[in-house]
Structure 1
């Protein structure tokens, strides 16, 4: 049995070298110091054995230098050793860094830094590497220290991988890369470790390069290759040359806008292209220098999967007049299959068994009709060896192998195709060696004189004429164009994210995917910059034809396609057709992919909600739920988790619209699902707590106050236990739950309990605000809840103190972010006015109330229609105080506006605002009565209020009995004042029946 190298006994030299692998240069003094302190049992001969061992790359008077590869191996062993001795701080190995620092105290600062970050890497203290490298980065970027650049360039290969992977090392590498073009540094990574917005100092010291950015339908194509500034004038329409700092990879930020709710950091390797789904709207890109570039909204694009409008000329030669060219075993159908595989957007022409003249004339006619799109010429037939200068010759129906004038040189065919005026030209030579033409010849590269298009390519294959392989390349090419390559690296086209395939990507697929057992490997030649040539058969958002199943492309494809389609769904706020196709194709990848589609739909619903598109959000949530229900039995754990999130989101949205009855079944199911998950998965307990909290709100909204309290108590208890284990994560949610619990206690007649819960919530929020000023809005909300329950218990002074602090906080927040905090500031101003009135300071109450009304009016006029209810409530209160202060005309005006707003709200959702409208009508009636001249209108307003209260009393007699009695009594007083005593007397009798319970609620 062979023992792996790291399992073999470690000899003395290996041990000593392992301990010394931190050092860049190992002097005899360092070797001896480490041996004596770390390995006191090793003999002095170990030092000399190490000096002359295979581990050393060089030895000299100043010390030895380890071989780089051996040093990395030794460092990995040292890392394992340190990890094993972590629980033994007294172990000698932990003194290594102290020894190295002491012996190397006079070493250059750069080498000391290299040793320090190496030690941090092998110790596992990766979080400290950036801090250690920061001074060097600052010296290079701000002091232009070229010596440090030189050191870093030479040290790069020596640094451990953990150091090279750090963000600061990557930034240092970018400062070095442009200075040393003669050497290829492996500084590029697939994804930059830092976003563009954090490259301030680095961006200042780097030169800019131009890269190509192009809108392609709903996608953005970014090419990391630098563009010659002189070539930018010839860019195709829709392409832009953007200046970015010369980093590898290039870094940009895709700013939020349109369907994108958040910024997205982009990394584009210098020799790759990146495609990003951006939707149809305008696109904003920000460079590391802070420059913002606008790419305007795209024009309408054809159906997904449609390719560029090109031309295809198929030439099929199977029958020949010359007896030396026997018939080939293929039909013109193969030529047509190849043409069809290039897509419906190609205009196709076919020549079957043509003469040489027919071919040249057809190519000449193409040149007479210039076309901006690509041109593909596919030729299937015999080829003969040509002369040294002429190259291979192509045979047609009237060709004679002995008469060169009847043949057409392959180079001449390419030249004629290049004169057709197409922006791209691809010539496919599917050739059979003519009998007797030998086997030791192939197609050569295209002549430079043929390179007239922006991209020209040639793919050629030669097969023996008598092996039955006439259809081999053509049939294989059709399969490639219809299904994509079976092999080949990721990132070179043909991925589910690529809508189109370029000529270069087609050639690479031909090169990599051609089966090894097939004869005559195709040869590829190309020049120019390739662009879209044909639709990608594996584009995940296309309409897959019958018989093509994307799940057959393999698991790697399915994973990338699912990730891409998920992004499309999340970004499809303005593209419902894309969303429908993405969901459908996600399910084609496998039925279980429905979970991923549902998760993406739930994310989309959250974006709709944030954009106030509630109807769209409800539809997205419902679609996610419909996808998940059938999967719940097959994949219960993951499906239940996703289903719980969708149910919770939909229920929350319905609750925001006060649609409690509709929300109830969804939140009830979410609670049941999450309760089952939480029994076996502790990480689901926070989700259960949030569902219980929402469940309590729904129960309260449907009038079930005691069950609502029980659900709120369970939610608070669960969050309390979670907060005890992890305060930083859960205490904010606990504060929200406690504030809600306070309301639930109050609704069942326990205001003391409500105040206790409110005080607990305030304490949590106050502690948060001390450490995080951004939490002051939450503190203000808790103070508001406390004010309400202090006031309910008639603690007027304590309530006033709480609401005064709340107003102060919200005033500051509104000044900083008016669009976010002005509505809550207006709300607290109204409460402050109520508090002043409670203290008997009615004369001071109108001032904050008027300010609140002014703010609400501005916001409603700007489109915040949801604020009409608090505006009406504040105007109703203002009317009360103005009337009390003897200003009836102003009171009538305020009350009339309140009634108007409540009428609008009641008309939109009948029954929801009925009680508020009745109360506002009573206030209006009172103000009109005070005015004197408005008493007839006061009677009418009071009569309308009575009518509304009768409906409320019929539905909930216990809740509205007292309000109805008060309203009827008020109407009787108004009638008495107006001299209608008989009707007033009947109403007073009705009041007695209502109060006594003699009047039934119908």
Structure 2
């Protein structure tokens, strides 16, 4: 063994021990520094001898996972890309490495999604599905992994607004997980994930009646799981409660929707008290939902406080990562402007509505499938506020812009966008003074 190789191996061994020691003591930054040194040394070893490519793949994977735990998404992405590149080289001559390739593809997609880069993330999920489908065809032991990759692809396509495309992988993941639960109840948590995702997807597609059953079933599974293991399942239960509340609201059952959403907020406050950074986005979302549920139930006075808090939290999140959170901020602003409008606080409502339109106009220019219909909602809200302010010409122009976009959307999907078009036309009538 050459002197250079021996020196690098000794460096890997020493830095690995340091990384484990720091990680065990909760010293994340020091552990990251040590693991970075491990990866750098393994990279040099791999250049010396291809036999060390596997060590590079493992070291960069471990570094990616550590950075993930620290919520350093961009740095986790870089390490994951290096691990994936090494694994691809290994898989060319050793098919047994393919499951590791799948795992790293899914990790990389997740890191990109956490940065708001869903369009870049989706192809990695599609590749993961293609690989693991072949593995599952040869060995049913890979069925859980196929369900995982299909579920991830469903979520990613939903994030891009490609709901029709998301339905097939979502239904397949749900079918596989029901089959797995019949054989072993340890897969119940995974089934709840698919049910929750399916409820969300069907709601986004305007199929509210169909969305109710999977949304309710997800809550029914997660509630006992959270009772026995709150550390693992409380945040998931909260998400399902919020989603069920959203579906019930679409079904015009506002009081039931409000009760589930209030429970979600209470759980999220508990979670934020234990780890603020990890659950702040979830609390902001449930607060936005709570404000909207209060408004829908006619409790306008009670709606303002949670919506204002949601906007404040989401501004904080946008300051740290605009790409990932701007869309959520626009949702909170859009909900807040409705409550402020009905409370007679028209100047504040106008400011919130204008900001929501500006954000959604910018986002819909790059991702129209995900944000164009939300932009239309914000335009309708703004037009309604302008009418109440007596600025009828501006209101009419804004509402007609929404109508024009909705006519195009209705031509593609009348079920999903027909109610929005009717709303835009009502707002036009109000602005014209003919309603």
TM-score, normalization by structure 2: 0.79
Deviations 1:590-646 (A, max 9, x none): 45x434433433333344445555444444434333333343342112x21111112
1:958 aligns with 2:415: no
- Shift, 1:761, TM fit: 1.3
Separation in 1 of the partners of 2:23 and 2:43? 29
Q: What is the aligned partner in structure 2 of residue 586 from structure 1?
A: 46
1:853 aligns with 2:307: no
Separation in 1 of the partners of 2:263 and 2:26? 38
1:697 aligns with 2:155: yes
Q: What is the aligned partner in structure 2 of residue 787 from structure 1?
A: 245
Q: What is the aligned partner in structure 2 of residue 673 from structure 1?
A: 131
Counting only pairs closer than 5 Å after superposition, residues 60-71 of structure 1 correspond to structure 2 as none
- The answer to whether the 8 Å contact 1:741/1:757 transfers is yes
- The answer to whether the 8 Å contact 1:712/1:737 transfers is yes
Deviations 1:810-842 (A, max 9, x none): 233333433333332232222222222332333
Q: What is the aligned partner in structure 2 of residue 880 from structure 1?
A: 338
- By percentage of residues, which structure has more helix? 2
1:634 aligns with 2:116: no
Separation in 2 of the partners of 1:614 and 1:823? 15
- By percentage of residues, which structure has more strand? 1
- Shift, 1:697, TM fit: 2.6
Query: What value does the CA root-mean-square deviation take over the aligned residues?
Result: 3.9
- Shift, 1:803, TM fit: 1.4
Separation in 1 of the partners of 2:59 and 2:12? 22
Q: What is the aligned partner in structure 2 of residue 41 from structure 1?
A: none
1:803 aligns with 2:257: no
Q: What is the aligned partner in structure 1 of residue 61 from structure 2?
A: 602
Separation in 2 of the partners of 1:683 and 1:677? 9
Separation in 1 of the partners of 2:430 and 2:112? 42
Separation in 1 of the partners of 2:188 and 2:409? 40
- The answer to whether the 8 Å contact 1:586/1:594 transfers is yes
- The answer to whether the 8 Å contact 1:738/1:761 transfers is yes
- Shift, 1:733, TM fit: 2.2
- Shift, 1:783, TM fit: 0.9
Separation in 2 of the partners of 1:797 and 1:782? 17
Counting only pairs closer than 5 Å after superposition, residues 913-924 of structure 1 correspond to structure 2 as 913-924=371-382
Q: Compared with structure 1, are the counterparts of its residues 253 and 780 closer, same or farther at alpha carbon in structure 2 (3 Å cutoff)?
A: closer
Q: Compared with structure 1, are the counterparts of its residues 586 and 252 closer, same or farther at alpha carbon in structure 2 (3 Å cutoff)?
A: closer
- Shift, 1:691, TM fit: 0.4
Counting only pairs closer than 5 Å after superposition, residues 78-89 of structure 1 correspond to structure 2 as none
- The answer to whether the 8 Å contact 2:39/2:56 transfers is no
Q: What is the aligned partner in structure 1 of residue 299 from structure 2?
A: 841
Q: What is the aligned partner in structure 1 of residue 219 from structure 2?
A: 762
Q: Compared with structure 1, are the counterparts of its residues 782 and 701 closer, same or farther at alpha carbon in structure 2 (3 Å cutoff)?
A: closer
1:739 aligns with 2:196: yes
SS of structure 2 residue aligned to 1:260:
helix
1:817 aligns with 2:243: no
Q: Compared with structure 1, are the counterparts of its residues 816 and 218 closer, same or farther at alpha carbon in structure 2 (3 Å cutoff)?
A: same
- The answer to whether the 8 Å contact 2:361/2:375 transfers is yes
- Shift, 1:868, TM fit: 3.5
Counting only pairs closer than 5 Å after superposition, residues 76-115 of structure 1 correspond to structure 2 as none
Structure 2: runs of 5 or more not aligned = 1-10
Q: What is the aligned partner in structure 2 of residue 292 from structure 1?
A: none
Separation in 2 of the partners of 1:759 and 1:881? 28
TM-score, normalization by structure 1: 0.37
Aligned residues: 415
Q: What is the aligned partner in structure 2 of residue 830 from structure 1?
A: 288
- The answer to whether the 8 Å contact 1:787/1:802 transfers is yes
Q: What is the aligned partner in structure 2 of residue 719 from structure 1?
A: 177
- The answer to whether the 8 Å contact 1:598/1:642 transfers is no
Q: Higher relative CO (CA 8 A, sep ≥ 6), structure 1 or 2?
A: 2
SS of structure 1 residue aligned to 2:252:
coil
Separation in 2 of the partners of 1:929 and 1:757? 40
1:257 aligns with 2:31: no
